[in-house]
A and B are shown apart, each in its own frame.
Chain A
Amino acid sequence: MQPSPSRDLAVGLFVLAGLCAVAWLSVRVGGLSFGDADRMQLHAAFDQIGALKPRAPVVIAGVKIGQVRTIELGNDLRAHVTLAVDASLKLPDDTTAAIRTSGLLGDQFIALEPGASEQDLASGATIAFTQNALSIESLISKFATNLGNGGQK
């Protein structure tokens, strides 16, 4: 077998391109992470999270700044959600976390609404103010009961 520089170069380029594709799929698309150097963790507890799933986006003003890491049921029987968000952000400690739906049938995500406090949230802090996921069924049933009462509250 004669060594052939141009063939070796082509094979090397192919392997590199393939490995880049695997890396892009794993890290960017698949969300594989090696430690969270530039991420800080925030906790938030909700009474009702609807269909929120791990890796759902966390947004401020519609801009994605992180994602949901874990969802666990705590001892207080509330859903405890861990968020990993961009560590460079300075979030006031009266920030509100609300579970929203994109579109009528879209996926659920967490929208953070910064408050006006002077103090910032540190990594590992808990967001005190939360808004539960809106359930369309409960809205409709409330609407139907109200209709039954002749529109009276």
Chain B
Amino acid sequence: MIFDGIRRLGRRSLVVVAEHGRIARFGTGLLRAVVAPPARPGRIVQEVFDVGVLSLVIVCISGAAVGMVLGLQGYNTLIRFGAEESLGAVVGLSLVRELGPVLTGLLVTGRAGSAMAAEIASMVATEQLDGLRMMSIDPVHLVAMPKAVAMALAMPLLAALFTVCGIFGGWVAGVRILGVDAGTYFSSLESAVDFSDDVSGSLLKAVIFGMIVGLIATYRGYTSAPTSAGVSASTTGTVVVASVTILISDYFITALWGV
């Protein structure tokens, strides 16, 4: 009786460990595919188009909206202490250090990560990957690698665009609507945000989040069950796991490197 419980615990633990091992092996395979010839620039450009260009509108609109909300909230809090000239610093630091990379990561997960997983999963379901293997083409190299690389390339660019849109959203709310002085907004922004601490850390975070989403989306698609239920499960799994991983790893990146 008691052994049954312990045995079940052991089995669960083994499943968890085995899953992480499979992700790690898949990740190593992806890394090997990145350096292995051919480089497949055409496929990578196509995937950057799917991830980056098609996510551009939602990222920019969300960035501007988040910046405007930060401007309003920050102004209403700071005005109590008569410190509304620090609005630029509040908006800039929160966007550059946290909100830019994290929210972009979540948005791109929902917009492009899910589509990526669904595409690979439906290729699994229709046995296209087996077809590739029959022609001795490595499906990780042809299908998964360009998608993961495009994620890691596009994420820092999208995060930077999100941050810039957010800073201008904060400017619209703070300067144009609430009447903070424009020079004060930008000078407090410039004196608070530092390249070596804040901007480089923001880009580092975005690259890591891009790699996380790329790895999880391709892995989930690649290992999905070859059924229509498998396609939907891999899509859901990608969004849930990637979002949670981004938020948790954000804490550790911030704690370890202080960015």
Contact = CB atoms under 8 A, between A and B. Distances in A.
A8 B43 CA distance: 11
B85 A29 contact: no
Contacts of A22: 156-157, 160, 203
A152 B96 CA distance: 53
A26 to B, nearest CB: 5
Given A1-B43, A21-B157, A106-B86, A11 B195 contact: no
B225 interface: no
Interface stretch (A12-20, A82-90, A114-122): A12-20
Given A24-B164, A28-B190, A106-B86, A15 B195 contact: no
Given A7-B49, A55-B194, A57-B191, A104 B160 contact: no
Contacts of B199: 25-26, 29-30, 32
Interface of A: 1, 3, 7-8, 10-11, 13-15, 17-19, 21-22, 24-26, 28-32, 53, 55-57, 64, 67, 102-107
A60 B188 CA distance: 17
Interface residues of B, number: 41
Contacts of A106: 83, 85-86
Given A11-B45, A29-B92, A30-B195, A19 B157 contact: yes
B67 interface: no
